Structure 1
Amino acid sequence: MGEDGCLGSIVEVLRLGLTSEARENAAATLFSLSAVHDYKKRIADQGGAIEALAGLLRVGTPRGKKDAVTALFNLSTHLENGARMIEAGTVTALVGALGNEGAAEEAAGALALIVRQSIGAEAVGKEEMAATGLIMMMRCGTARGKENAVAALLELCRFGGSDATERVLKAPALAGLLQTLLFTGTKRARRKAASLARVFQRCDNAPLHFGGQGVGYAFAGNSTASNRDSRLADDVSVPMSISVQVL
């Protein structure tokens, strides 16, 4: 990174490399470098770097997509990179990657970080398939993928305003998926699912989208759940009644 023109040359290979292997290796190099905090901003500020990573995520080989999305995830952990990543079209590429098994986990994780800024929440909220893709991950993803997906939806509702919350709330089967995560998810997934349920409890239209039952997630009203996992209530301290219809 101290060599004059080195970073620019790596990005040039990523953009214009003559073989897929060359572009993959350039993405892997940026992925490794982006793990170092002091390099995250420098990489994001390098002309064409983020655009090239987003492009590889859209049309690269499975290996190229994996390295590109991991690099983008690393870059998204630096708060100052948010606006630059949005400007470079990263959000659209990340949303598209939610349907890619090899890239979905990191894509959802990056989105969860990007939406913590209002500009990021606005950009993600404009993507028609964002909520749908994240909810599909809650249904079919890996344990870590489900964690990242529910975290991204939570942050989208927190920072995206009422329109984003309403879009998420209208998603079919969301109530059932949240209930499943509350019982079977990892500790982090249960915590995020409970927080998302609390967000919905404050929405005036929640009963309309949850079969008239309300969101009502709590453990006190279900003795079977308490017997099955007494530690769950300690981890997720939110009132709940297990009477939610699955739409």
Structure 2
Amino acid sequence: MDEEGCLGSIVEVLRLGHTTEARENAAATLFSLSAVHDYKKKIADEEGAVEALARLLKQGTPRGKKDAVTALFNLSTHTENCVRMIEAGALTALVSALGTEGVAEEAAGALALLVRQPSGAEAVGKEEMAVAGLIGMMRCGTARGKENAVAALLELCRSGGAAATERVIKAPALAGLLQTLLFTGTKRARRKAASLARVFQRCENASLHFGGLGVGYAFAGNSAANRDSSFAGDVSVPMSISVPVL
């Protein structure tokens, strides 16, 4: 990375390599380098790097997609890369990857990180298939995939404002999936699901305070635990969820 032109040459192979194997090797190299914190911003700022990774995630072989999504996940852990990744089309590629076996988990994990930033939450909120893709992973994904999906939805509500929250809580089947996750998910998944359920509760309380727009939440158990004071919302839909003591 200290050698002048080295990173640019790797990206050039990723973009224009004459063989699939060459492009995949370049993606694997960026995946390895992106694990180093000091390199994350440098890679994202390299012209064409994020665009090429996003393109490989959409169009590559299973191996290429895996290396591309892992590299994008690593880059998303650096908060200063969020805007660059949005501009380069990485966020759209990650949303598309939610339905692709082998890369969906990492894609959801990257989205969960990106939506912590207001710009990321706004961009994901505009993606037509984002919420539906995350809901689908909550239904059919692996244990880790379900964790990442519910975490992404929770962060979208926290950072995306009322419009994004409304889109999440009106998603078909979410109530039942949350109920299942609250009782059968991993410890992290249950914690995230409980926090998301309490988002709904606060929305209901705000609705009642500002005009009583519907009553329909039934919470049981430790409803005061793990409250997230950073969230504020003003939408409400009927829903019945029992939150267990965690």
TM-score by length of 2: 0.86
Give the secondary structure class of the aligned counterpart of 2:99: coil
Structure 1 residue identity aligned to 2:28: A
Shift of residue 198, structure 1, vs aligned partner: 0.8
Aligned twin of 1:136: 136
Identity of aligned residues (%): 79
Shift of residue 213, structure 1, vs aligned partner: 7.0
Aligned twin of 1:91: 91
Give the secondary structure class of the aligned counterpart of 1:98: helix
Quick one: distance in 2 between partners of 1:23 and 1:195? 41
Structure 1 residue identity aligned to 2:4: D
Quick one: distance in 2 between partners of 1:217 and 1:70? 38
For the 8 Å contact 1:109–1:152, the answer to whether it is kept is yes
Quick one: distance in 1 between partners of 2:57 and 2:64? 7
Quick one: distance in 2 between partners of 1:68 and 1:9? 17
Shift of residue 2, structure 1, vs aligned partner: 1.3
Shift of residue 173, structure 1, vs aligned partner: 1.0
Quick one: distance in 1 between partners of 2:215 and 2:176? 12
TM-score by length of 1: 0.86
For the 8 Å contact 2:58–2:65, the answer to whether it is kept is yes
For the 8 Å contact 1:95–1:129, the answer to whether it is kept is yes
Shift of residue 206, structure 1, vs aligned partner: 8.6
Structure 2 residue corresponding to 1:214, chosen from 207, 213, 216: 216
Aligned twin of 2:64: 64
Structure 1 residue identity aligned to 2:95: V
Query: What does 1:28-107 align with in structure 2 at a 5 Å threshold?
Result: 28-107=28-107
Q: Which 5+ residue runs of structure 2 have no aligned equivalent? A: 209-213, 228-238
Structure 2 residue identity aligned to 1:118: P
* 1:187-244 deviation digits (Å, cap 9, x = unpaired): 110010011011111224999xxxx873434336xxxxxxxxxxxx9xx757xxx954
Give the secondary structure class of the aligned counterpart of 1:128: coil
Structure 1 residue identity aligned to 2:218: G
Closer, same or farther: CA 140–64 of 1 in aligned 2, 3 Å: same
Structure 2 residue identity aligned to 1:180: T
Shift of residue 101, structure 1, vs aligned partner: 1.1
* 1:60-117 deviation digits (Å, cap 9, x = unpaired): 1011000000000000000111111111111110000000111100100000000111
For the 8 Å contact 2:124–2:130, the answer to whether it is kept is yes
Quick one: distance in 1 between partners of 2:207 and 2:179? 15
Quick one: distance in 2 between partners of 1:54 and 1:120? 16
Q: Which 5+ residue runs of structure 1 have no aligned equivalent? A: 221-232
Aligned twin of 1:9: 9
Count of matched residue positions in the alignment of Structure 1 and Structure 2 = 225
For the 8 Å contact 2:195–2:226, the answer to whether it is kept is no
Aligned twin of 1:120: 120
